[in-house]
Structure 1
C-alpha cells in the first residue's frame, strides 16, 4: 500500500462539453512527479452516472471521445504510479432519473441525498434493488478490461430503506416493515450481500485485487464491516465537516484492527467539489504528518477539471507535503502503536440510533482531545479488544456495563488494571446501580445543573476553587472509596421565579457529596466530563481528568513538554528494533463560520521527552535528518530534548535485542 496517494474526483455533468479534451500524458505525469504522488485513484464512473471509457455495462460520458481511464492508467504506470479505480456505487444520477423506483426511500417515501428532482444533487440507490446487477456488471467490466490496482466503491453502507422492493421482501419473509429492527436487519443483509457479490465478481477475474467500500466513516465497534474491505481509507477532511479531532480518533481505532489503512484529507479549503479552493501548504504538511504519526499512509483529495488538465497549483501544494513524507517512509512501515490507555469508544458500545449522525460523538471526541492535549499514549478500542494490553481503560460518560463487559473488566481488575469512568459509565445496562466496584454507590441524577466541583488538591493552572460543571451529574456516596473532591450545589436551579445574574446560580458552599472518588479499581468522576469538554472546552475539566489519569499512571510510558495543541505518538518497528517518537505541533484557527484552517506553523523549542522502555537504547537520532540526539537512560527511562520542532519531527530510538 503506497504512502503518497491522491484521490482524483471527476464528477462531471453531461451539460459540459469537451470532456478530457486537454488531457496530456506528459502534463499528467509531470504533475504526479511535482506532487511526489505514488498512487492515484482514477475514475471509471462518477456520481452523475457516466463512464469515462468505452463501456458495454454503462454509457460513456456524452462529452468524452476517447478512453480517458485507459490513458490515465497507462500514463501513471509508465512512471511507476499505481492506479486504483473509482466506481460510484450508491449514486448514479443518470440511472436515478430512468429508474426512480430503485432509489432508497424513507418511511415518508422521500429520497436522499436530495428529496426531489427539482433540486440540484444526487439520489441514493437501494442495493437491494435491480440496480445491484447493473453495478456488478460495471465492476466486472473494469476488473476485466483495465489494469486497475484496486477498486474503490463510494457512497455505500448499511441503510434503512422503505422502498417497495425492501417492503415486499420483508413481508414475503413474514416480517413487519413497521418494525424498525426488521428494517435494520434487512439493511445489514443487503449491505453484506452487496460486498460479497463485489468480492466474488472481482476475485473471479483478478484474485487478490484490493477493494474498499467507502461510507465516509469507519464505524468503531463494527469489525465485521471493516473486514469487508481489504484495507481501510479513513475519509477525514478537517475543513470538510470532519474537523481536526476526527482523524486521530478514527486512526487510533483503525490501527488496532491489524489492517493497512490510510488517512484521506483534501487539498480543498472546504470540501469535495470545490474548484479553485486551496489549503495553505502548511495544512497539508501537518495533515500528512498526522497520518504517518498514527501508523497510516496518506491520501489527498483533488478534483480534475472537466477538460482533463491537471492543476499545477494543486500538485505544487501536494508536493510540499509529499516531498516530506517520501523522506520519512522508512520509519513508518510495519509499525505498531504503543499505548498505556485504552478509550472504550461510546460509538463501539452504544447503538447508532442513540448517537445521532455525528462522525465523532461528543464523549469520544472530548476524550481524544483531552488525551492528545495531555500527551497520553492511547488506543481507541471496542469490545473485541484485549484489555490486558493496557494499564488504564477509560469508560467515557455513557458506557453501560452488560455481562460481557463486566467479565472483561473484572478480569482486567484482577490483573491490576485500572478504570477511569465518568458520568453514567459503569452502571449496569438498563439499571441505575454500578455493575463494577468503583468505591461508590449511585443515589440519583443530581437535581442541580449546572453545579460545582471542588477538588481536594489544587489544579495546576487554576488553583483551588469551586469549578462550574455544566454537564449532567450523578449524586453518589462512598462505599470503599476515597473522595478526591466534592460537589457543591448551587442555591437553586435557574427558573422564572428564582434566578441569579446572567447565566446560572452561584455555588452555595453546601457539600453535595463526593464528586470524584478513587478505589482499588480506579477512579470515578460523577459528571459527563468528556461530552462537556467537547462542547464547552473548559480548562478545569481537562485538568481534573488529567489529574486522575496521572494518579492511575504513575509509570506512564511517555512524558512530554509539548504545548496543548501538540501531538505525540510512539510507534514501534519491531523488525527494525527501534521506536519512533512522533512530535507534531500546529494550531488550527477558525475562519468563517465553521472552517478551521492551519496557516502559520510556529516552531516549538526544547521539547523534553521521557520514555520508559523495556529495552536498552543504543542510539537516538532525528529522522529523516539523521542527526544524533544526546540522551541518557537510567532505570529504564530514556530522556532527551528536541531542540526545535517545526510541524513534525521524528525521533528514532534504536534498541538492543
Structure 2
C-alpha cells in the first residue's frame, strides 16, 4: 500500500505576511520520519499568488524568499519528491489584470472579481498559454518541482465569454446556448463539445509538462473521481486524486471507488474543520477513523494541512502525522499488495450522473442530475453497507476490469448507459451474470431501452407534483398486529410494459393515491391500501443464462434521508434472494459496520476489514456536516458468514476464534469493540 502523502499549503491573501520565519528542513524532516515518498507543496494559490520569483505570474507581495524552490530542495535532501499545487481555473490576480480572461456566466457579465481573492478564469482564453503554462514551466524547471497537482475546481464550468461563443459558432454555425434558455436545442451540442475541448485542453497540458520534464507527475484533482466519473486523458490507467467531504460515508465511498481502478488513488481530505485549526478540532479517534476508512480500501491518504504563515509546523501536525502513520502501518501489514479485491456486489456510479444522456447535459447550468445522482449513490452505499454486503463502488470505465462471474452488478437510478457499457452488460448477463436495476431503467443513445432489461416501455411517474408513496410487501419485515403494517417508502414507481420481464411481487399504494396525486398534498401520506398496485414492484427477466432484476422504487434515494432499520431488513432479504450464493455477509442488528473483502491469489485465504461506522443516521443530503468520534463506540456483536465447505482457521486481529458451521456457511461471531477488525480465514490443509 502506498505510503501516506501530505499537502502543505496555505491559501493566501495579499495582506497576509508569508515566509517570515521558515523552517524548510523541519517540514521535510517530518515528512521523512513519517515514511512519505512525495509531498504536495505550494506553487500558485486560489488568489493567484505564486510563491516564487516569476516573470509571468504575480509573486506574493510579502515574500522575500522562493518558498516553492526552498521546500522542493528540502524535500529532495530526504529523497522525497515535491509536487507543486497549482490552482487551474481560479486566479484573482490574473483576473484583476486581464478582465477579458474571466469566465462569463452570460455575455457581458464576467465572473466576480474582488480586490483581494480568487476569480474564475476561462482556460480557453489566452490565460492558459500566456500565463498558466509559463508559470507551470517556471515551477518545474526553475523551482525544481517533480510534478504538478492541478486543482481544477471551476476550470471547465460553462462560460459564455467571447472566446467560447466564437468557438461554438465556428464549430456548429450556431449561437452558444445561454443559461437563461435551458430549452435551447443547442444544449445537445454543447455538452459533447465542451467535453471534447476539455479533453483536448488536458492533453495539451500533459504534453507540455512531459516535454519540459519527462517523468513529471501530473494530477488533476477530482477528474476521473466520483464527481467526474468518466474517462479523460491519462485517467483510466493513471492516478486519480479527489477530495471528498470528510464525513460518513463520503470518505469510504471515494476510497471504494478508487479501489476499482488499476492504479492506487489519493483521497485528499482537508475539510476536517477550517484553516489553521484543522486538527485542533479533531480528536485522535477521529483521525484514526478517517484514516482507516481510506486504508481499508488500500488507497493513499493525502493529508491536507494548513501550514503556519511563517512556513513552519505546529506541534499538532507532527502528532497528527504520527497518528495517521501508525494506522497506515497496521493496515499495510494486514493487507499486502498481492491481495485481490473480492466484492460480491458492484455498485455502479454511472457517467450520466454528471454527463446526462450521451454527454448532452455536461456543464449545463442549473442541471440537477449530479445532485440527484449523489442521493442514489450515497443512499446505495449506506444501505449495502448496513446490509453487511461486501461490495465495491465503481465507474463505468472500471467495468471491463471488475465485471467478473459471481458478482452482482447494481445500477442505481441511471437514466442512461453508453454503448460500451450496454455491450458489456449484455455479454455479462448472457454469460450467466446478474444485474439489479434500482429506481430507473437506463436508456441508450437513441432513447430506446436495452435488450437485456426485459421491457418494451418504461414510463417514469410524472403525474404527481411531489414524491409519492409506496408500501412495501412483506419480506419478513411487516409488523405483526391487527393491521399488518407495511413499511412506507417515499417513492414514485415506473409504469412498465413487459418484453419478457416477469412480475415477482407488487407494492401497495396509499389510500386515495389518485386523489392525492392531483393535489398539493402529495407528501401527506395515508395508510396502505389493501389492494396491490397494477405495476410490479420487482421484476425478473431471464436473458441468456443470466437474470436482470428491476426494483421499481427509489429505495436507495430514500435511504439517504430515512435510513430506517425496516428498510435494511427488507433489503437484506431481497439481496439474499437475488444473490443466494454470495461469498460473504456481515450480519448485525443495526448495520453500521462496513466489510471490505480480499482474496489471496494463490493461497486459499480471505482477509476482511470490518470498519465500525458507529451508528450514524443523519441525512446525507447536505454537504460539510461536521462529525467527531469523541469516545470509543459501545461494543456490539456481529456475525461474519462465509460460504465455504472447507474447514477454516479463523483469526480476528491475529487471535484464533471458534466458528460455527451451519450448512454451507461458516458463522464467525465477532464483538465490534474497536474502530476496525482484521479477520483472516485460511482453509485447513
- TM-score with structure 2 setting the length: 0.82
Structure 1 window deviating more from structure 2 (342-351 vs 369-378): it is 342-351
What is the deviation of 1:631? 5.8
Residues 596-611 of structure 1 aligned to structure 2 (within 5 Å): 596-599=626-629, 600-602=631-633, 604=635, 606-611=637-642
1:650 aligns with 2:649: no
What is the deviation of 1:203? 1.7
What is the deviation of 1:646? 0.9
Contact 2:469 2:525 in 1 (8 A): no
For residues 188 and 413 of structure 1, do their structure 2 counterparts lie closer, same or farther at Cα, with a shift above 3 Å needed?
Answer: closer
For residues 105 and 229 of structure 1, do their structure 2 counterparts lie closer, same or farther at Cα, with a shift above 3 Å needed?
Answer: farther
1:250 aligns with 2:281: no
1:311 to 293, 296, 314: 314
For residues 476 and 161 of structure 1, do their structure 2 counterparts lie closer, same or farther at Cα, with a shift above 3 Å needed?
Answer: closer
Q: Deviations along 1:94-149, whole A, 9 cap, x unmatched?
A: 1110011111211254444xx3436x642122111111122111222222234434
Equivalent position SS for 1:106: strand
1:491 aligns with 2:512: yes
Q: Deviations along 1:293-345, whole A, 9 cap, x unmatched?
A: 11311111111121112121233234222222133324253553212222232
Aligned residue for 1:208?
A: 215
Aligned residue for 1:70?
A: 69
1:473 aligns with 2:465: no
Residues 581-592 of structure 1 aligned to structure 2 (within 5 Å): 581-587=608-614, 588=616
Aligned residue for 1:155?
A: 152
Give the Cα–Cα distance (whole angstroms) in 2 for the partners of residues 313 and 52 of structure 1. 24
Aligned residue for 1:232?
A: 240
What is the deviation of 1:456? 4.0
Contact 1:220 1:382 in 2 (8 A): no
Structure 1 unaligned spans of 5+: none
Aligned residue for 1:122?
A: 118
Give the Cα–Cα distance (whole angstroms) in 2 for the partners of residues 107 and 425 of structure 1. 35
For residues 457 and 579 of structure 1, do their structure 2 counterparts lie closer, same or farther at Cα, with a shift above 3 Å needed?
Answer: closer
Q: Deviations along 1:196-234, whole A, 9 cap, x unmatched?
A: 232222222332222101247544541235628841112
Aligned residue for 1:140?
A: 137
Give the Cα–Cα distance (whole angstroms) in 1 for the partners of residues 20 and 617 of structure 2. 40
Give the Cα–Cα distance (whole angstroms) in 2 for the partners of residues 377 and 323 of structure 1. 26
Give the Cα–Cα distance (whole angstroms) in 2 for the partners of residues 426 and 501 of structure 1. 26
Give the Cα–Cα distance (whole angstroms) in 1 for the partners of residues 443 and 46 of structure 2. 46
Aligned residue for 1:503?
A: 524
Aligned residue for 1:419?
A: 435
Contact 1:453 1:485 in 2 (8 A): no
- TM-score with structure 1 setting the length: 0.85
Structure 1 window deviating more from structure 2 (294-303 vs 544-553): it is 544-553
For residues 67 and 644 of structure 1, do their structure 2 counterparts lie closer, same or farther at Cα, with a shift above 3 Å needed?
Answer: same
Aligned residue for 1:362?
A: 375
What is the deviation of 1:568? 0.8
Give the Cα–Cα distance (whole angstroms) in 1 for the partners of residues 372 and 144 of structure 2. 34
What is the deviation of 1:612? 3.6
Contact 1:452 1:490 in 2 (8 A): no
Give the Cα–Cα distance (whole angstroms) in 1 for the partners of residues 560 and 517 of structure 2. 29
What is the deviation of 1:245? 2.7
Equivalent position SS for 1:457: coil
For residues 603 and 649 of structure 1, do their structure 2 counterparts lie closer, same or farther at Cα, with a shift above 3 Å needed?
Answer: farther
For residues 431 and 203 of structure 1, do their structure 2 counterparts lie closer, same or farther at Cα, with a shift above 3 Å needed?
Answer: closer
Give the Cα–Cα distance (whole angstroms) in 2 for the partners of residues 225 and 537 of structure 1. 38
Structure 2 unaligned spans of 5+: 178-185, 357-361
Contact 2:449 2:455 in 1 (8 A): no
1:85 aligns with 2:84: yes
Equivalent position SS for 1:308: coil
Aligned residue for 2:407?
A: 391
What is the deviation of 1:639? 5.0
Contact 1:454 1:466 in 2 (8 A): yes
Give the Cα–Cα distance (whole angstroms) in 2 for the partners of residues 492 and 637 of structure 1. 44
Aligned residues: 645
Equivalent position SS for 1:488: coil
Residues 28-43 of structure 1 aligned to structure 2 (within 5 Å): 28-29=27-28, 31-32=30-31, 39-43=38-42
Contact 1:451 1:470 in 2 (8 A): yes
1:131 to 111, 119, 127: 127
Structure 1 window deviating more from structure 2 (24-33 vs 338-347): it is 24-33
For residues 21 and 427 of structure 1, do their structure 2 counterparts lie closer, same or farther at Cα, with a shift above 3 Å needed?
Answer: closer
1:261 aligns with 2:265: yes
For residues 28 and 395 of structure 1, do their structure 2 counterparts lie closer, same or farther at Cα, with a shift above 3 Å needed?
Answer: closer
What is the deviation of 1:597? 0.5
Equivalent position SS for 1:595: coil
Aligned residue for 1:595?
A: 625
Residues 45-56 of structure 1 aligned to structure 2 (within 5 Å): 45-56=44-55
Give the Cα–Cα distance (whole angstroms) in 2 for the partners of residues 458 and 477 of structure 1. 29
Give the Cα–Cα distance (whole angstroms) in 1 for the partners of residues 576 and 27 of structure 2. 53
Contact 2:93 2:118 in 1 (8 A): no
For residues 191 and 61 of structure 1, do their structure 2 counterparts lie closer, same or farther at Cα, with a shift above 3 Å needed?
Answer: same
